[in-house]
Chains A and B, each alone.
Chain A
Amino acid sequence: MTNPVKPDEQQAGLSLPGRSLSGRSTDQDMDEPVAITGTSPASKVPWHESWIIRAAIISIVIIGLGYISGAYFAWQGIATIGRLAYMEEVEGALGSYLETIKASHQEKQTAMTVKLRPALSQATAGGSQAITDAELLYLLKAAGAEELGNPAEMVISIYSEFSQGQMTYDAVKWLSRDQLQAGNLRVEFPKGKFYEQFKATEDLRQRYQLIGARLEEQITPTLIQASVTIMVISFILLGGLFWVYAQKFKDKIGEVLEGFSVWSELDAKFRFSPGYTGELKMITSQFNAMANEVEANRQKSLYLEKIASWQIIARKLAHEIKNPLTPIQMMVSQLKRRYKGEDPEFGSLLEEAQQIITEEVTVLRRMVDNFSNFARLPQPEMKNIDLNQVCRHVTELQKNAFPQHTITFESKTEKTPAWADDDLLRQVLLNLVKNAGEACGETPSVIKVGLVTTPSDHLITVRDNGPGIPEEALGRVFEAYFTTKHTGPNPGMGLGLAVCQKIIIDHGGKLGVTSRPGETVFSIRLSKDRKPISSHGNNV
C-alpha cells in the first residue's frame, strides 16, 4: 500500500488540498465547509439493521436473563435454606427440653424436700420449736440443697404468712421454684445451673420462633428485594453505560457513512479529521489514504493526458517547422554563391542576411529538435541499477559544466539498488542540476545531490542555495512550454521539467519542488515496490 500524500510536500500541478470533517479547508481559497451531522438520509441506518444495536440488545438480554435467573436461584436457595433454618419439630424439641429441665429441677426439689422433712422435724422437736437461720442452712446443706443453688447465696428470712396456730415449725413447702417455706422461715434460692440452662434454651427457642415466624413473610422477601435492587441498580448503570456507548458508536458510524457519501457525491476533496478512535480511526485513516491515492492518480492521469496533448502539438510543430528550414537555408546559400559582387554595399547586406538567417534557422532547428525529443519520449526500460552510481556520475559531469559552483553528492550507503531506467534517470538528474546551476548564475553557490532510502522509498534531492523560484511560478514549473528563462544566451523552451516529470511518472514515482529565496529543493521519490505506470495512467 502506498503512503498517502504528505500535505507538506507540494507537488506543483499535483496539489491535493483537502477538506476535513471539522470544516477546515487546506485549499488557499476557503470554501464553505460541508457540515457533517450524522443525520443525513445516507447515514441513517434503521436501528433493527444496525449491527452494534443488535449486539447491544442481545448483550443486554443475555445479561438481563442472567440477572433474572440469578435472582430466581437466589430465591430458591434462600427458600431451601429457610426450610432448613426453621423446622417446627426443632421448636417443639426445644419446648420439650425446657419442660425436661423444669422436671429435672422439680425432681431435685422433691428429693431435697424428702430429705429435709425428717431432719427439720427432728430439729424442731416435731414442729414445736423454731430454729435459727444457721441451723436451717445446715439442714439444707445436709439435704443436698447445693444441687439447687449455692448455699452461700441463699437468703433466709421470716415467712410473713406463718401462722403459729395453723402451721408447724417443721412444715416444708415450695412457694415457687426458688422459694421454700421451712416452718416460719422462707428460703430464697439463687438462680442455679438449672435456671441458667433453662434461660439459655428459652433464648434459643425465642430466637428460633422469631426467625420461623418472620422468615417467609419478611426476611426472605427482604433479602430477595435487596439483592434484586442491587442487581437492578448495577444493571441500569452497566446497561445504561453500554447503551450510551452503543448509541455513541452508532452516531459515529453515521458520521463516517455521511462522510463517505459527501466524498462520493459532493466533494472529492473531503477528508476525515483525526479525531476518531479505535476501529473508526483505522477506517477513517484508511479512507483518507485511499482518497489521497485516488486524487493523486486522478491528477497524474490528468497530467499525463496533458503531456500527451503537448506531445502531439510538439510533433506537429516539429514537422511543420522543420520542413521549410532546409529550403530557406539552401536558398540563402545559393543567393550568396550566385552574386558576383557588383555592388559592394549589396554584397555586405547579403553577407549579413545570410549570417542572420543561418543563426535563426539554427535556433529553429534546435527548437524543432527539442519538440521532436519531447514528442518521442521513450518508455523506461526498467532494470536493476545502482542509484549511487547514477547520482555520482551526474555530479561529476555537472562539476565540469559549472566550475563556479560547489556540487556534491551525499549518501549514507555505498550502493543503493533500485529498479529503474538509468539513462532516463540520468537525464532527469542532469536537467535538475543544470537548472540549479543556471539559476544560480555566476554567483558561487552550493548544489547538493542527496540520496536517502526509507523503508518504502528512495528519495533523491537536488538542493541549491540560489535565488529561488518565484511563488507565482512555483505551481507551473512542471507545465510544458512554461519557463522562467526568457533572456540570456540559452532561453528555455519550457520542456525540460515537463520531460523530467513524465519520466518520473513513468517510473511510478513523484517529482516535487519546494522553494524559497536561498533554498530550492527538487525531490524525486521512487517507491521500492511500485511498478511503473504507462502514459495512459495505468500500471504496467
Chain B
Amino acid sequence: MSLKRWAPPLLIPLMYLALPCTLEASAQAEEAKVVLVVARWEMKENGPVLVIPFSDALTDKQKNMITGGFTTVSQLSVRLPGHNAGTEPGVVFNSQCSVKFDAWEETYDIVRVQSENSKPFVSKDFTEYASVCLTGDIRDNNIIKRFNSQGGYLQAQLTVKQTSAEEALKIKDWLIQQQSGVMQSLFSHMLGDISLHQTHVVNIRVPKRTETSEPATKQEPAVVPVKKGRG
C-alpha cells in the first residue's frame, strides 16, 4: 500500500485534526481588562495588617453570577508576582466562600470554606459579603516586612464559578435532546460542563506604610491583553 496512492484520502483526517485547535484558539482568544487594586494598611491588635479589597475587581459577569441567584463559589488567591498560582511558597492569602443570593429576600447565604469559623450566615448586603469573602487580609510578618518600607506589587487570581449544576444540567440535557441520532451522543460527549465560571488576574499595588491612604481600588484600562482562562 503506497503512501502516494492513498495520500489524498489521508489529507482529510489530518485537516480535521487541525480544526479543534482552531476552534479552541478562537474561543480562548478573548481579551480581559487588567484590573489594578490598591491595598491599604490597617492597624489591628496584633500589628499592621495589609488589607486588599477586591469587591470592585469583580467583572460584570462575575457579579451577575453572584447576584443572579446561582449558588457560587468564589476563590481568592493572593501570591507574590512570578509564582504560579497554587504553588505553596508563593501564595500569601487564600479564601474560598460559598454564597447563594436569595433574590426574593435579598440576602446572601454565605459559608466561608477552609475557615475555623465556617458556620453559614446570612448577610443583608453585598458590602458585608465582600468584606467577608472578597477581602484579602495578610498578616504574615515576612510579607509585612517586605512591603512595609518600600511597597510593591502582588498578584491575585479571582475565580467565581457556579456550583449549582441543576440548571446547567437541565439546559445541557435540553440542548442534547434537540439533536438527532448520532449527533446526540457526539454533542453530549463534546459539550462538557456549561456551568458558569470566570477567572481573572488582579494586580495589587501595595503602597508604603508611610503613604497616605488612597481610594481602595482603581480600575485602569487594558494595558496588556491577557488570555482568559477557559475554566
Contact = CB atoms under 8 A, between A and B. Distances in A.
Contacts of B191: 218-219, 222
A239 B12 CA distance: 9
A57 interface: yes
A207 B168 CA distance: 8
Interface stretch (B129-137, B182-190, B202-210, B214-222): B182-190
Given A207-B171, A225-B20, A232-B13, A57 B8 contact: yes
Interface in A370-429: none
B190 A225 contact: yes
A123 B33 CA distance: 62
Given A202-B69, A206-B69, A209-B68, A236 B27 contact: no
Interface residues of B, number: 39
B19 A228 contact: yes
Interface string B89-116: 0000000000000011101000000000
Contacts of A229: 16, 186, 190
B23 interface: yes
Nearest to A228: B19
14 contacts: A202-B104, A209-B196, A210-B194, A213-B61, A214-B196, A221-B23, A225-B20, A226-B179, A226-B186, A228-B19, A229-B16, A229-B186, A230-B183, A243-B9
Contact of B167 (A176, A206, A217, A239): A206
- Chain A interface, >50% SS class: helix
Contacts of A218: 27, 191-192, 194
Given A225-B190, A230-B186, A240 B104 contact: no
A196 to B, nearest CB: 11
Contact of B190 (A203, A207, A213, A222): A222
B182 A230 contact: yes
Contacts, number: 92
Contact of B196 (A57, A203, A210): A210
B187 A222 contact: yes
B5 interface: yes
A232 B16 CA distance: 7
Nearest to A98: B103
Nearest to A56: B8
Contact of B183 (A98, A202, A227, A239): A227
Given A213-B196, A218-B194, A226-B183, A202 B103 contact: yes
A235 interface: yes
A223 B23 CA distance: 11
A195 B9 CA distance: 61
B190 A226 contact: yes
Interface in A31-56: none
B84 interface: no
A437 to B, nearest CB: 69
Contacts of B171: 207, 210-211
B103 A228 contact: no
B19 A60 contact: no
